[in-house]
Amino acid sequence: MNVSRSLTLAAALCLSCGAGAVELSVGGQGQALIYPIYSVDSGNDTAIHVTNGSAEPSIAKVRILEGMTGKVAHSFNLYLGGHDVWTGVLTRSGDRARLISADTSCTLPRLPAEGVELGTGANPVLAPRTRVGAVEVIEMGTPDFALEDARTQLTNFFSGSCDSLYGAFAEGGLWALDSRYGLKPPKGRLSGSATLTNVMNGHQIGVDATALVNFSVHARQTRPEDPEPTLGQSETSYATMRSAVVKFRTGADAVTALLTRPSAEGDFAYGAGLNAETDWVLTFPTKAYVNALTTPDMEGERYSPFVTTPGANGLTCEEVGVGFVNRDSEPQRGFGATINLCAITNIIGLGDSDILGGQYVRTQVPAPNTTGRMNIPLIAFEYIPELHIKRNLWPISPTPFDLEGLGVIGLSLTRIQNGDVGGLLSNYVSVQRLTSRTDAVSF
């Protein structure tokens, strides 16, 4: 069934639409933020930070997604003042995660002092899956204080008191009939990070959010109970890549292309006299959106970059190989494995490593007792006749270049535990972005 190990994305070159093309932010600020990992498993708490780098206020949708299928565990509207920072902490609460914040920035729905448990509602299966996942932040607009009839109310919303905000969507409120009234397009000055803290193990991990610019061209605030907009709803189907502006079928395709890598490569350390552990994170931020948007081609087949075969759990899984070399470039034979990555946020633990937990999204891989490099190729072409699926990215002519692989954000986390040294707890953790070949867009 596996025809060849190649995957081609062909897309059309656009020479006159650069200003409206979504692209990865070089400076870390943008209109959409992707946090590839949070965890409240294995003793971790995760603080989510959202920063407005503009002197003007900003309105954003915050979406906390469980890691297995990317379903919304909790979402809310966030109202940031100029140069404001909001921080919320995800912590363990029974079998699920709880979001707590003492921040004074306004949120709708209002976050109670005791916090809110994630995954509440009609689907009880969702609750334990909220312990590990990802976060999206989508900027929806900024107030237009030049509109005289809206100026007073808009000023009140960002003056440090949230009371007037809570009636804005009620009958007769400023946004009751039109949630975009009095708003300008997003400024694109949001940035963010996640801080994973493990008190018992004495370590802290910092992960920067990946930012996208030119994601939105209009104000599009939604009601607080509406979990949209999503990362799959870029307002442009153009993407700036390798100094070219490329046309795709949809905004979700364009964002996927920006994240596409032919492989995930990075350092590992396991055992080796260091009591070392390594967890890898491979998050596919747009998998759910792109799979939902696949459409038949002229031959009646569907193209999707993520679909290989349905797994036993009903999810679509990517079958990949894991290989190791030590620091002397010697292949570590007898280790590694062929594994299925079925989740949105996937955690790969080496040996008995367990830094992040994540029983619903975790795969353990036999690992050599050494340090070195690990590699996971993400290129494949597979035709599944019974499902009429071609695992390939949407051919459109003419072709400025071929783009191979899957849309992924990858991290390598290594923990070294020296235990009690001279009365001090001497544990250390490092986090690195995974790399890829230079013929794909670099991380």
Mean pLDDT of 408-414: 96
How many angstroms separate the CA atoms of 238 and 192, rounded?
Answer: 24
H helices of 138-247, in order, are 148-157
Q: Measured between alpha carbons, how far apart are the two ends of the chain, in Å? A: 31
List, in sequence order, every residue forming a beta bridge with 414; answer none if it has no partner.
Answer: 278, 430
Amino acid at 9: L
How many angstroms separate the CA atoms of 338 and 334, rounded?
Answer: 12
CB-count burial class (<10 Å; 0-12, 13-18, 19+) for 302: middle
Burial code (b: 16+ CB inside 10 Å, e: under 16) for 108-122 equals beebeeebbbbbeee
How many angstroms separate the CA atoms of 73 and 153, rounded?
Answer: 31
State the average pLDDT for the chain.
Answer: 83
The first and second tokens of residue 88, run together, are 């919320």
pLDDT band, very low/low/confident/very high, at 141 (cuts 50, 70, 90): very high
User: Could you give the 3-state DSSP secondary structure of residue 252?
Assistant: helix
Provide the sign of the torsion angle of the four alpha carbons 145, 212, 410, 229, taken in this order. Answer: positive
Asked if residue 426 has pLDDT above 80, the reply is: no
CB-count burial class (<10 Å; 0-12, 13-18, 19+) for 398: exposed
How many angstroms separate the CA atoms of 44 and 32, rounded?
Answer: 25
Structure confidence by residue, pLDDT tens digits, 291-336: 665 555 445 454 566 765 566 666 788 888 999 999 998 989 888 7
Mean pLDDT of 175-187: 93
Structure confidence by residue, pLDDT tens digits, 149-162: 666 667 766 665 78
Asked if residue 52 has pLDDT above 60, the reply is: yes
Mean pLDDT of 270-293: 87
Q: Which of 52-61, 64-73, 245-254, 292-301 has the lowest mean pLDDT?
A: 292-301
Q: Which of 142-151, 271-280, 360-369, 379-388 has the lowest mean pLDDT?
A: 379-388
Mean pLDDT of 220-229: 96
Neighbours of 298 (CB within 10 A): 5
